[in-house]
A and B are shown apart, each in its own frame.
Chain A
Amino acid sequence: METLKYTTKIKGENLTIPEHILERLDKRAKIEVVFRPIRRRSPTGPKIDQVIREIEKQMDEEFPNLRGPIGKELANLAGISRDIKGNMRKYTDKEILGMARMKKYLEKGEIIESLF
């Protein structure tokens, strides 16, 4: 029998095993209970709309003579830093560009050939 993993809630002293799991248990089954905090997947930061509103507010305060909303077309293009791939956040644009170019050359085999 393959290992089955599931999450469940503890209510008082009772731990509930869902029906679909119980159906698949046989006599040789071992049950291990591992307590682990659940990682929430929902984003913790503000959504892009909120970021845009925040930018508008901040800019209106900073540049009162240029007050006005961010255009819809531009707002639709906006991105926030947490959406950048985690391992790339530490690099500057120039470094990323360098890496992208390097990757392209490596794919073509040009760099490797030039080393020899």
Chain B
Amino acid sequence: MKVFFDTNVLIDIALRSDEYPHSMKVVNEVMERSGVSPWVSAISLNNIEYIISNLGQRQKAYRLLRFIRDRFSIIPFRKSVFVKALNSGGPDFEDAIQMACADELSMDYIITRNTDHFRESEVPALTPTKFLEKWNVGEFDSTTSVPFLDLKAQHHLVYNEIDNRITDIIANTAFILGRHVEEFEKRFAELQGSKYCIGVSSGTDALHIALMALGIESGDAVIVPTNTFIATAEAVSICGAEPIFVDCDEYCNIDVEKLQMSLSAMSNELRARLKAVIPVHLYGQPANMNEIMALAEEYEFKVVEDCCQAHLARYDDRLVGNFGEFGAFSFYPGKNLGAYGEAGALVTNDKELYQRAKMLRQHGEMERYHHQVIGHNYRMEAFQGAVLSTKLTYLNEWTEKRQANARIYNELLRDIASVETPLELEKTYCVYHIYLVQTEGRDDLKKYLSEKGVATALHYPVPLHLQEAYRHLGYKEGHFPVAEAAAKRILSLPMFPELTERQIQYVVEMIANYFTENKYE
């Protein structure tokens, strides 16, 4: 919940806490509760300084300003805000500006002593007393809907720093690559435990560059799991190579036994064409990398890890992306580390591959306009580097919160026999990009949850070998029974770091209600 404070409520604290105890209490509650963030308009800051200083409390004014600097997000006074305030015709121009600020950043509530001045506000305005009364009776805690993902919940932590960085990019007109992308590459390589990182334009492009750097081309074959997002196989197809699908195991990742069977049953012709395998650490659960790497050695193929859903995931105490030749990451907005648009990265520990991938990212050039090979335009935008550098600071914390949420789900779902919770492979640290359950009657449950305000998703409803785009490869229903059965039973529940325990309880209560009403149990 994003709460916007009018100047007067903050001044009350520094000057008249005895006269306005509710102002003190409401700010205190917003500070103390998780999931609630305090916001203020930039225009309030100079007024706070003027008023409190003129009342003989200059030191206090600056103490309050430092407190705001450290604990609040500040909404800039942009021209868009000014114009909106000017057009509003409200009784007080300063309040009109505050109203426009609160609206611009989609605040949930404005807290002010003079609600009359905020009557035209699209954001509901409440007095401190009214706000506390509502909070006291649990009005803000009641959950009647749970989104699948809530990207707005991260705004408070990152908004001002991202705003500063974006202003820097605009001021310096350095829109492609540049220092924000370089900073991100350096820090992401460190965090992911890799020697090198190359920021690119998307996760799909990261996979494509990795395959290009490994020399995959027309006529080659690359093994991919059938239960994954299409980008994994598309990267192979874009290279002109043929994707060879393998079924998944009970962890929904590539089945290593079936991979081995597939390898040993391959004709000599196909084995000669096989150049690589792309294991996917799907949903944030690492694939069985020790066994895959052993097969890579035996059958002499390269490994590109698809880590697009597995930032900071570990297998056998080693971060994913460091087993194969490359680790490919996506920073699609909803990912565990999400950009404000499309972005991706490759990590590697091989200097030669790093240089080659870097060259391919920028039209095959090392030196400007001197092209060594045919490359592509896969550069990361500076804006995305700025967003990712800012958000990177919180990735460990967010990952731990995802894990904690998964534990709560596991615990609460334990007594619902019709629902299977996700399995974790031994020796893995799962990062729960997606919390996926399996159940019979999945479509009915999904519909029921939607009616009860719980958003869910399917990852993925059709395995790749049955997709129209790959019909030409000749796969049929029944080829990969585990993936096909899973596709009919899987359901992704809401999962994001800021998901509250109450929201998880609501989701599980609704699932339990569904099974009670439908007498499955």
* Interface residue ranges, A against B (CB under 8 Å): 48, 51-52, 54-55, 58-59, 62-66, 68, 70-71, 73-74, 76-81, 83-85, 88, 93-94, 96-97, 99-101
A79 B25 Cβ-Cβ under 8 A: no
Nearest A residue to B129, CB-CB? A62
B473 close to chain A: CB less than 8 A: no
Known contacts A71-B32, A74-B31; decide if A51 and B51 are in contact (CB<8 Å). no
Interface string of B130-154 (1 = CB under 8 A from A): 0011011110000000000000000
B1-42: contact bitstring with A at CB < 8 Å (1 yes, 0 no)? 000000110010111111101101101110110000000000
A9–chain B nearest beta-carbon distance, Å: 34
A93 touches B8 (CB 8 A): yes
Question: Which residue among B21, B22, B132, B138 has the maximum number of chain A CB atoms within 10 Å of its CB?
Answer: B21
Which chain A residue shows the least CB distance to B114? A94
Interface residues of B, CB < 8 Å — how many? 39
Please tell me if the beta carbons of A55 and B51 are within 8 angstroms of each other in the complex.
no
Q: Which residues of A contact B427 (CB under 8 A)?
A: none
Decide if B136 touches A77 in the complex (CB within 8 Å): no
Is B197's beta carbon under 8 Å from chain A?
no
B21 to A58, Cβ gap below 8 A?
A: yes
B53: A residues at CB distance < 8 A: 100
Can you sample 15 A-B contacts with CB below 8 Å? A55-B18, A63-B135, A66-B132, A70-B24, A78-B17, A81-B16, A83-B57, A84-B15, A84-B16, A84-B57, A88-B54, A93-B8, A96-B51, A97-B51, A100-B54
CB pair B132 A78 closer than 8 Å: no
How many contacts A-B (CB < 8 Å)? 107
Cα of A79 to Cα of B27 in the assembled complex, Å:
14
Q: Is the CB of A79 within 8 A of B24?
A: no
CB neighbours of A66 from chain B (8 A) = 25, 29, 132, 135-136
Check: B60 CB closer than 8 A to any chain A CB.
yes
A68 to B135: give the CA distance in the assembly, Å. 14
4 more A-B residue pairs beyond the given contacts A54-B18, A78-B24, A85-B56, with a C-beta to C-beta distance below 8 A: A59-B21, A71-B32, A77-B64, A80-B17
If the complex has contacts A66-B29, A80-B18, A81-B16, are A96 and B55 also in contact, measured as CB distance less than 8 A?
A: yes
Q: Nearest Cβ in chain B — how far from A98, in angstroms?
A: 10
A81 touching B32 by the CB < 8 A rule? no
Complex Cα distance, B57 from A103, in Å, reads 17
Known interface pairs A66-B135, A78-B14; A55-B25 also in contact (CB < 8 Å): yes
